[in-house]
Structure 1
Amino acid sequence: MDAKALHESQMIMARYLRDPQNNPPPAGVEQRRLKIYEDLIYNNIEGFISSGFPVLRSLYEDIAWHGLVRDFIEGHRCHTPYFLEISQEFLKFLMEDFTLRAVDPPFIAELAHYEWVELALDTAEDEIPDQVAVTDLLTSVPQLSPLAWSLMYRYPVQRIGADCRPQHTGEPVYLVVYRNREDAVCFMEINAVTARLLELIRENSACTASDVLESLAQELGIEPRSLISHGIAQLEEFTELSIVVLAPGP
């Protein structure tokens, strides 16, 4: 078989494995063998998706869930050959290529993103910098841990489950999801002001905590002194949780 014929044979097999209901199998391959490949491909992909998105999976009856996975396999072109990155490709499918069916919850993409963040942080190779002792928190330089993500959702994704299936968006939900020094992935619900504080810290490289809090107060249109005590307490908590790392000030 020449290279062109081999390529065409591989494409026929790939199309069949993606969508065996609507594509003919390659000629000359025993049906029993085809079934082995078909089940192997589907079961592996479905298994990774189910384990990566357990809450989302729990919201579906089997037929609807397998239909969703089939849509992903048939309609999405993955850009990675690694099984560990299937979850990321499934999320991309839901956010870019997927059209909601009547059976799908409206929060499907946001819930999937929230569950994917936990997996992404759990497998991230980044390390939290060592915490340096500082004598004055306000004169130290706060920096966001590379393993802390400040997120905003339209649905309360952290509460969604069998007994909580919101059908409409509400007030924005702000969360910080982080991996601590014991390698446990945790989340904390925060408010819009705290989320903005974390964003300022994420962008910070040299400003002191006092400067960051003053910038936040200016954005809010309030006196910095009224924000300092709360800001210090919040930074102390974030430091203890390894969400924020302090460096000595200038």
Structure 2
Amino acid sequence: MQATKRPDFIDQQYDFAAYIRNPEHNAAPDGIETRRMAIYRDLFYNNIENFAASAFPVIRAITSDERWHAMIRDFMVKHHCKTPLFLEIAQELLDYLQNEREPQADDYPFLLELAHYEWVELALSISEESAIGEDVDPNGDLITGIPQLSPLAWPLSYHYPVHRIGPEQIPDGETETHLVVYRDRHDAVHFLEINAVTARLLQLIQQNVAASGRELLESIATEMNHPQPQQIVSVGAEILLDLRHRDLLTGIHNIPER
């Protein structure tokens, strides 16, 4: 059975899209005035480029015009977006950087980490997650109860100090960096630099379903082989209170009676 020929207007749509994505290597579709195609071509590119620059302002600031525009054009050529929403283009560009772009010899070694960090701020600002979970006691005892991490608090670890990078501050080597990027009850997005111990505490809280705050802190003291575990518990209790005050912790779940 002979295959049905694709309608001509669909072929024209494919030609139109191919030209818009990569005008240097694809001819404009027949029957459309050159001036009009130039308007479509420039409008499409400028919209994508402007939004990318807004979503990744630090990367834009530390990247030359030539390298930046080459990257955006390569993104348009190689990456097939799965969403029509402009607010999600940042996620698509991050996916392209992580999985499709061929690394260049003059790339910053921290490019992917910086892109991820900049994406997180936008992702948290538009997240529809609710900060308060079910059966959470916001004022419960964080030591005797099960601490609950806000879904809008994201603990992150990087090899570079991504939160400090800018045109005047380019790191010359790796520095282990622990951050929490979070959205508070007023919907403002913040970042908090933390040490490795607090990062480990947040990791345990994130994975935890049954242990009390005290048990988590005692576990950390054991991992550290600390000679005075109670000291870790006392300091950790203050850290837990501060994290709740900042809206990183939403409260506790009560431990079921055994």
Normalised-by-shorter TM-score class: over 0.9
1:86 is aligned to 89
Tell me if structure 1 keeps the 8 A contact 2:178–2:195. yes
**Is it true that 1:70 corresponds to 2:73 in the alignment?**
yes
Secondary structure of 1:138 counterpart: coil
Tell me if structure 2 keeps the 8 A contact 1:176–1:188. yes
When normalised by structure 1's length, the TM-score is: 0.93
- Which whole-Å deviations, capped at 9, do the CAs of 1:3-52 have from their partners, x for residues lacking one? 43222221111111110001111111110111111011101101110110
Secondary structure of 2:190 counterpart: strand
Tell me if structure 2 keeps the 8 A contact 1:139–1:248. no
Q: Give the counterpart letter for 1:231 in structure 2.
A: G
When normalised by structure 2's length, the TM-score is: 0.90
Secondary structure of 1:24 counterpart: coil
2:252 & 2:24 partners in 1: Cα distance? Answer: 59
Identity percentage over the alignment? Answer: 46
Distance change >3 Å, CA 230–CA 106, structure 1 → 2: same
**Is it true that 1:178 corresponds to 2:182 in the alignment?**
yes
* From 197, 202, 207, the counterpart of 1:203: 207
Distance change >3 Å, CA 10–CA 209, structure 1 → 2: same
Q: CA RMSD, aligned part only?
A: 1.7
1:137 & 1:171 partners in 2: Cα distance? Answer: 32
Q: Give the counterpart letter for 2:143 in structure 1.
A: L
With 125-134 and 83-92 compared, the bigger mean Cα shift is at: 125-134
Tell me if structure 2 keeps the 8 A contact 1:106–1:167. no
**Is it true that 1:21 corresponds to 2:24 in the alignment?**
yes
Tell me if structure 2 keeps the 8 A contact 1:64–1:103. no
Offset, 1:109: 1.1
1:167 & 1:7 partners in 2: Cα distance? Answer: 51
2:24 & 2:253 partners in 1: Cα distance? Answer: 63
Offset, 1:118: 0.3
Secondary structure of 1:163 counterpart: coil
Q: 5+ unaligned residues in a row in structure 2: which ranges? A: none
Tell me if structure 2 keeps the 8 A contact 1:132–1:248. no
1:141 & 1:83 partners in 2: Cα distance? Answer: 39
Secondary structure of 2:28 counterpart: coil
1:61 & 1:40 partners in 2: Cα distance? Answer: 22
1:235 & 1:67 partners in 2: Cα distance? Answer: 46
1:166 & 1:33 partners in 2: Cα distance? Answer: 45
2:44 & 2:230 partners in 1: Cα distance? Answer: 61
- Which whole-Å deviations, capped at 9, do the CAs of 1:180-239 have from their partners, x for residues lacking one? 111111111112221111011011233211121122223333353131111101101101
Runs of 4+ more than 6 Å apart: none
With 95-104 and 117-126 compared, the bigger mean Cα shift is at: 95-104
**Is it true that 1:220 corresponds to 2:230 in the alignment?**
no
* From 82, 97, 101, the counterpart of 1:98: 101
With 187-196 and 222-231 compared, the bigger mean Cα shift is at: 222-231
**Is it true that 1:163 corresponds to 2:175 in the alignment?**
no
1:190 is aligned to 194
**Is it true that 1:232 corresponds to 2:240 in the alignment?**
no
2:247 is aligned to 242
Tell me if structure 1 keeps the 8 A contact 2:142–2:252. no
2:12 & 2:187 partners in 1: Cα distance? Answer: 46
1:212 & 1:6 partners in 2: Cα distance? Answer: 63
Tell me if structure 1 keeps the 8 A contact 2:153–2:248. yes
